[in-house]
């Protein structure tokens, strides 16, 4: 995911694993909740059979990859 989109969702270009998990859980909850026009992290994956990754940081060092996407079924 590009820097501009990282800052849009996370407020930083170096998101933490905890923040990634938090936003992913919010996005998944939004799928089953009332309809909202607010964009979520999952909206970054716009086509079936694709995925997105985010480099995640702990103490300013890259330590994890956050991966999400859309299946084709």
Span 30-55, pLDDT tens digits: 888 776 667 888 888 877 888 999 99
pLDDT value of residue 30: 85
Q: Can you tell me the mean pLDDT for 9-29?
A: 94
Return the domain boundaries, the chain: 3-70
C-alpha pair distances (Å), 7 with each of 3, 4, 40, 59, 70:
6, 5, 13, 18, 22
Task: From 1, 16, 6, select the one nearest 59 (Cα to Cα).
Answer: 16
Give yes or no for residue 56 having a pLDDT over 90.
Answer: yes
Q: Whole-structure pTM over 0.75, yes or no?
A: yes
């Amino acid at each position: 995911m590009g820097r501009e989109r990282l800052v849009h969702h996370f407020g930083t270009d170096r998101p933490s694993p905890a923040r990634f998990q938090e936003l992913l859980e919010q996005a998944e909850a939004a799928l089953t909740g009332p309809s909202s026009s607010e964009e979520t992290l999952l909206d970054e994956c716009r086509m079936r059979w694709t995925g997105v990754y985010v480099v995640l940081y702990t103490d300013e060092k890259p330590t994890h990859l956050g991966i999400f996407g859309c299946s084709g079924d």
